Amino acid sequence: MKDGFIRVAAASPDVVVADCQSNREAMETCIRDMEAQGAKIMVFPELALTGYECRDLFWQQLLQEEAKKQLRILAQDTKDTDALIFVGLPLECAGKLYNVAAALSHGKVLGFVPKSNLPNYNEFYEARIFTTAMPDDPDREVEFFGEKVPFGTRLLFTAEGMPHLTVAAELCEDLWVPLPPSIAHTLAGATIVANLSASDEMVGKDSYRRQLVAQHSASCICGYIYATAGEGESTTDLVFGGQNLVAENGTVLAESPRFRNGTIYTDLDVDRIVADRRRMTTFPAQDGEGYRRISFHLEKEDLELCRFIDPRPFIPSDTAKRDARCDEILQIQSMGLKKRLKHTHAQSAVIGISGGLDSTLALLVTVRAFDLLGLSRDKVLAVTMPGFGTTDRTYTNAVTLVKALGATLKEVSIAPAVRQHFADIGQDESVHDVTYENCQARERTQILMDLANQRGGLVIGTGDLSELALGWATYNGDHMSMYAVNASVPKTLVRHLVRYVADTAGEQALTDILLDILDTPVSPELLPPEENGTISQKTEDLVGPYELHDFFLYYMMRFGFSPAKIYRLACIAFHADKAEEGNGADAKGAEETGTVFSKDFILYWMKNFYRRFFAQQFKRSCLPDGPKVGSVAVSPRGDLRMPSDASSRAWMEELEKIGK
């Protein structure tokens, strides 16, 4: 289970009703296929050994004994299979018949988990046959071919040497009730829940089933494996579609097509589950009181992940979801600013506009907030402050954008004031060092602050989350404002927000200017342009691709993953195996498979990210207020309460080991 990943499988085998031998043979075929795919947790449907639709045949002692016999054979035949396997069958205990999930591993039956909730409504009549299991003595056992096997609802199956890999089971209807047994299981420490199900199909039921599995995995913060009956079950009155599902903390990772038997696979991230539970103070400590822990053994093996790793974790890949997300974020930003403007009785808003993405987004949010307040947009003062690095393109875009939005434009050249400041402090203008750059940023901030004082307004900050993570801001320059609307928006998402406004603006002039801004390289424009007037200072040439930095930031802040694990995920997400070592983006590979970065390139910028993240915390410790919009933020009053002088040694040493 390297890096916390475990491959799981949910299967709908070909079933023959009441033919236990055929069903066992079908399961063995599935198990061999699962084994070849590297699955370590295998889940079959409810009553799969007999078929769910045996009905009154379950009363037949012959069928009951045949199910036990075939389970024993299945256990023996899979003794060399390195997996935890869940199989459904009817089982007698203390003179009553139960619908149970049997847990098998390396030839042994580890335990029987009976169903707690028996449906006896509409098309279901399980209470006619089976007995409802109640929470009972965890030490209860049943005899199975001369051996005592644990029997009860409070069983946890824990992998030896992998304390976080703890699996529990429930059956079908147990999930659909107000208080599923899996709630208690996860509170006792289960990180993965297997559900053996036989859920028939009705119009619209598939979407509800999917939603139920996803939501339950979210509320329990667990991995949830749902295996359900498919083709082969009796169609006397019902049809079973085999909609297998695997979800992790609210996200469906794998789903099978309905009405076709088969197996789905995915890799659950147990470390991610544990990290979320650790972070959420409302998830109680898991002491496992009243539960019986049963250990099983798994070999620790390297796993080539089959799970999709999204290179852009902040951005939904689905267009409709992305548009909805963009609209929601713009609303959160503008509502936050609306409240601040109203509370301070601000008569105006002042914003520095450069023709770049961040100031464009901030201006779009500001005019939206003014619209919500019913205030005239001409009270928004957009200030363009050309300096030594300003190009004609960005200047023209800034001016055109302000006019298109109906805000008030003011131009203040910073060159004379900065040159005077150079003279005052003895700075040689021909030396383009950090002082040369930061003097310009601080002069711009001074102008904005004073203009806001003149007009009884607020200075609106433009810096984004990615810049704050890297410390790519001038302290007490663009780092400072009176309300920072972009403070928790990552750079990769800024582009999509601006693009969303461009696509929905309904005004061709505004759309055209926004599209040109999107096509402009990201730059602070603090160094003189090239001789042909183009931008000479490109941010991503200096600090690295924001695609990578946002990826690093997400997994470090959201889940607390180690650098080694994040590096592994980044190599998968950015197709490092398709890039030449030492090179960055591969144009051909990018065209075919998305952005491609080599392992060397990823590691180089990852070291840069961690070095800057730790060194620049002092800037984040005194950030102005700004609205949180996503699960990752760096506000010192909220998500990141980090000392400014913390050492990065442990993180950097782990990265050095990767390089070796």
Neighbours of 123 (CB within 10 A): 9
Query: What residues pair up with 411 in beta bridges, in sequence order?
Result: 384
DSSP state of 624: P
Distance CA 301, CA 373 (A): 59
Distance CA 121, CA 118 (A): 9
Neighbours of 106 (CB within 10 A): 17
- For residue 544 the two structure tokens come to 């690295």
On the CB side of 345, CA atoms within 13 Å amount to 0
Positions annotated as catalytic residues are 46, 115, 172
* DSSP-derived secondary structure for 344-395: TT-SEEEEE--SSHHHHHHHHHHHHHHHHHT--GGGEEEEE---TT--HHHH
Distance CA 370, CA 172 (A): 52
Distance CA 578, CA 142 (A): 55
Distance CA 576, CA 593 (A): 11
Distance CA 29, CA 241 (A): 20
Distance CA 5, CA 305 (A): 8
Which residue ranges form the domains of the chain, and what is each CATH number?
Answer: 2-296 (3.60.110.10), 319-659 (3.40.50.620)
Q: Nearest Cα to 425, choosing from 436, 416, 414?
A: 436
Q: Is 527 helix (H, G, I), strand (E, B) or coil?
A: coil
Report whether 110 contacts 294 (CB < 8 A): yes
Backbone angles phi, psi at 148, to 5 degrees: -90, 120
- For residue 602 the two structure tokens come to 């990823």
Report whether 529 contacts 536 (CB < 8 A): yes
The per-residue pLDDT of the chain, averaged, comes to 92
Within the chain, which residues score under 50 in pLDDT?
Answer: 586-593
Report whether 492 contacts 312 (CB < 8 A): yes
Estimate to the nearest angstrom the gap between the alpha carbon of 514 and the chain centroid.
29
Q: Nearest Cα to 269, choosing from 291, 296, 251?
A: 251
pLDDT at 29: 97
pLDDT at 590: 39
pLDDT at 534: 67
Q: Is 150 helix (H, G, I), strand (E, B) or coil?
A: strand
Q: Which helix (H) or strand (E) holds 236?
A: none
Distance CA 306, CA 299 (A): 19
Report whether 240 contacts 5 (CB < 8 A): no
DSSP state of 143: E
